[in-house]
Structure 1
Amino acid sequence: MRPAQAAIEYLFMIALALTMVLIAVRLLHRTVQTAADNVNRTNKEIIEILQNMTGNHS
């Protein structure tokens, strides 16, 4: 195998690895964002329920 061909193959492997890392980071970011949205929504619902139970409407 010629050195130039080997170098190009290594560059393609690095590009593939970086692409896979980018996809994983995007999926992780989306998952964390969804979890944060769910926590915020649930928090608001709990506060509303507690306010209704105590009769304290702000």
Structure 2
Amino acid sequence: MVLIGGAMAGSLHRKLTLKQLQLVSVLGRELSLSKTAELLHTSRPALSRSLNQMEAALGLVLF
């Protein structure tokens, strides 16, 4: 298994949805919450909530 920020990569699929992985991918590329929300057709508050949920599930800060 590969360690990513202290989390086992093999267990990530049980903690994150495809939509959440897409959010991380787009946010990493754009480096902007507003642009990411626009590209994913969602609101910035909804994107922030999802990011907070991912961080809580993984036990680490993503951005």
Q: Which has the higher contact order (CA 8 A, sep 6+)?
A: 2
Choose between structure 1 and 2: higher strand proportion. 2
Normalising by structure 1, report the TM-score. Answer: 0.32
The two structures have a TM-score, normalised by structure 2, of: 0.30
Name the structure where helix makes up a greater proportion of residues. Answer: 1
